Amino acid sequence: MNIKVQDLEGKQAREQYLLEKLKRNSRRHSGKVFALAAITLKDLLPDNEGIESNLIPTAMLSAPLQGEIPTAWAGAGPALFKVFFNNNPTPIIDEVYDRRPSFPLAIGVPAGQFQAEGEYKLQYYVDNGAGPVFSDYTVFTVDKNDPNRNIAPPPMVFETDRITPEYLEANSGLPFELPVFTLARPGDTAKIFMRIPGTGVVQEVATLAKRPVSGFDPEVAMSGVIPKEVFVNGSGDPLHEDGTVEFFYYAYSRAGNESKLPANTLLSIAFKPMASGLKTAIIPLATETPDPLIDRSDAILGVTVYIDEFQNHLPQDEIEVTWGARALTRFKVGTNPQFPLESPIVSYGALISEGDASGEGPKEVSVDYKVFRGLIAESPPSAAKTSVDLRIPGPENPDPGPENPALGTVTVLGGGANPEENLIRVVDKDLPVSVKLPSYSNLRAGDVVEVIWNKASTGVTVDLVGDETEIIVPLPYEHVARHGDGQAIPVQLQVTNPTLPAGNPTLTVPTSVKVDTFQMGTLVPVSFPDKSDFFKSLGCCQSIWEGATVTVAGDRQNFAAKDTVTVHWKGQDEDENDLPGTEGKQEFILTAEQASDGFDHVIDFDSVCLPISNAQGELIVWYELSKTGGAKGTADPSNVWIKAELANGCVCIAPDACEFDCSSGAEKK
């Protein structure tokens, strides 16, 4: 039976004294064999593979360290047994045996005792009654450093930037070298990984053998060869598509400490012929000859670059266009490409900043492109060139668009008495209109100002001499009349200068002008084309079950395309009281044909005509006209009796609901 030694006062001091005494005796009898057999530890790494003594694999640090005392001590009777760790006088194992235990005797060292990196010692003593005797030390090592002292190492290095069949054949694979690590030691190893192009799949492609003790030189880097079978099959056919391939590695110390992930090393797989027959880039908006030019109008449309067809292209090839020094976003050739390929739009910022000078110009810019397959790039023999001139007359406008708020605000005045700003009235009709603008900054002699009415050029201009304080352009009324009335006709002034590119006009922000010159004539009331001439009604002989047809006649004087005509109706009984539920309306936006020729509308039988007939009443119809210029008018109402019930009491709600003869009598026409 094992009996735990009870804690006694002064026990630790006594054991410390005893420990030191035994050590002195051990030194005094140096050369004589008095020590007990040392503790042996299990699952340690072989000392002949490295420079550390009894190295513990890092994977074992989370569990107790297992060991044993291989041989029995002398004496089979009771004994005191203590195990000491790192010369600490407090034992980690303290037991009393009433008789000698079985051997080998298992020993477990708690994991918490050896978590820090370093060298540790184990020792025990036994007192069998004759006196205490110490064992020899057992030394073991904990290593927590990877080969680069737990700092991310540099990337691996290759002798080439592209992997070709010829290179693999000449080198029996792909040679590589790892960097010299800051804590290189015997027993270090490494695993090499590759991320397969186009898939993202990671594959282990090589493992380096442990570095031997013999001949070890910490300044010599580890190296190896990735087998060519990683890249080609037995027939020499490629296993992966052309493109960028990523390589990385993990290095491991002899204890198994893994390095941090280094940066990837990128190579290109290039088994297929590279792009060839590249032609100079095309700038489709720079079509001027002999001096191509990009101006403001081009910038507004969006400047792009065309790439003409070339040979040996692959879907994953990427094209990068450079405008001056500015690289545009790369785009792929893709499957079944339609040439010419078009680049992304060149930003206005790039148009301003790039070229042989910065700013609006005039300047010259070179435009080129590269076809990338992985890291390999091919370029055409020459770059395209074009002039860029984005200068505009008047004040600066940082926006590429033609409208420049800094030009000021246009004011429009009619030619009649007491004109009102931005309103053309009846009294202004047929009189010249004045379009005004205060003088703007950077006004130069030779600036040409043109009136733009309702977004259309008028051709009406004035040439400035350069000292104007106000600009006034007289506009003949015919240009106003051409566009007709309107609630908000946009009016602008456009400024050009013959010394600047024709594509660089600048415009004021639109001023909304109300044109209201319409003089409404008498509106023609609606008619009922099917009405009985004798009874002034719509009845069974007029197929009333199909509804009441109303005609709005064409009116060239009052109607125009885009005017709104709203047809209204209601029913009244024979005492001219409105019939609830019979009222309604329908809005029409007139086409040019409806304005000139008129149109029909059918009023529903069930919901309108039948209730009116039941009340022996009449249908009242009229319409309202709303002109696009804002004028309004209402036609006089028209009325018709609705007669759906025959003298015999039958109501003709359908073609075969009643029997009647319309071929004679008052209904005969």
pLDDT digits (tens, 9 = 90+) for 527-573: 999 999 888 999 999 999 999 999 999 999 899 999 999 999 999 99
pLDDT reported for residue 665: 53
Long-range contact pairs involving 517-520 (C-beta distance under 8 Å, separation at least 24): 517/424, 517/425, 517/426, 517/428, 517/429, 517/485, 517/629, 518/485, 518/627, 518/629, 518/631, 519/426, 520/558, 520/625, 520/627, 520/631, 520/633
Lowest mean pLDDT segment, chosen from 15-19, 427-431, 659-663:
15-19
Query: Helix (H, G, I), strand (E, B), or coil: what is residue 641?
Result: strand
591-595 average pLDDT score: 96
> Does residue 22 surpass a pLDDT of 80?
no
d(CA 50, CA 71): 28
Per-residue three-class SS string for 552-602: EECCCCCCCCCCEEEEEEEEECCCCCECCCCCEEEEEECCHHHHHHEEEEE
Tell whether domain 2-142 is in CATH 2.60.40.10.
yes
CATH for 537-667? 2.60.40
Q: How confident is the model at residue 26 (pLDDT cuts 50, 70, 90)?
A: very low
The conformational region for residue 193 under phi > 0 = left, psi -120 to 50 = alpha, else beta, is: beta
Residue range 343-371: mean pLDDT, rounded: 96
- Per-residue pLDDT, averaged over 595-608, amounts to 96
Average pLDDT value over all residues in the chain: 91
**Inter-residue contact 328 to 343 (CB < 8 Å):** yes
Nearest to 449 by CA among 480, 425, 423, 472: 472
CATH architecture, range 293-388: Single Sheet (2.20)
Phi, psi values for residue 19, rounded to 5°: -60, -45
What pLDDT digit, counting tens, does each position of 288-337 carry? 888 999 999 999 999 999 999 999 999 989 999 999 999 999 999 999 99
Residue 298 is inside which H or E element, if any? helix 296-301
Q: Among 501, 498, 518, 598, which residue's Cα sits nearest to residue 554?
A: 598
Average pLDDT, stretch 626-641?
91
The whole-number average pLDDT for the span 584-594 is 96
Which residues, at least 6 apart from 585, have a Cβ–Cβ distance to it below 8 Å?
566, 567, 568, 569
pLDDT higher than 90, residue 57: yes
Is the pLDDT at 18 greater than 80? The verdict is no
| Shared fold status for 293-388 and 537-667 | no
Residue 28 has pLDDT above 50, yes or no: no
* Domain positions in the chain: 2-142, 157-269, 293-388, 405-515, 537-667
Q: What is the pLDDT of residue 31?
A: 40
Prior bond to 476 cis, omega within 30? no
**Cα angle 262, 266, 270; round to 5:** 155
Q: What is the mean pLDDT of residues 585-605?
A: 96
Question: For residue range 239-265, what is the model confidence (pLDDT) as tens digits?
Answer: 998 889 999 999 999 999 999 999 999
Residue 362 preceded by cis peptide, ω within 30: yes
Per-residue pLDDT band for 25 (boundaries 50, 70, 90) equals very low
The answer regarding whether domain 157-269 maps to CATH 3.40.190 reads no
Determine whether 596 is exposed, middle or buried from the number of CB atoms within 10 Å of its CB (0-12, 13-18, 19+): middle
Binned at pLDDT 50, 70 and 90, residue 598 comes out as very high
How many Å apart are CA 541 and CA 531, to the nearest integer? 10
Residue 170 has pLDDT above 90, yes or no: yes
- Fold classification of 405-515 (topology level): Immunoglobulin-like (2.60.40)
Q: Which residues contact 228 (CB under 8 A, 6 or more apart)?
A: 168, 169, 172, 173, 174
Q: According to DSSP H, which parts of 346-426 are helical? A: 348-353
> Is 30's pLDDT higher than 50?
no
Q: What percent of the chain has pLDDT over 70?
A: 94
Q: What is the mean pLDDT of residues 46-72?
A: 93
Percent pLDDT > 90 in the chain is 84
Residue 365 near residue 323, CB atoms below 8 Å = yes
Pairing of strands 331-332, 318-323: antiparallel
DSSP 648: T
User: What are 461-501's pLDDT values in tens digits?
Assistant: 999 999 999 999 999 999 999 998 888 999 999 999 999 99
Q: How much is the pLDDT for 198? A: 76
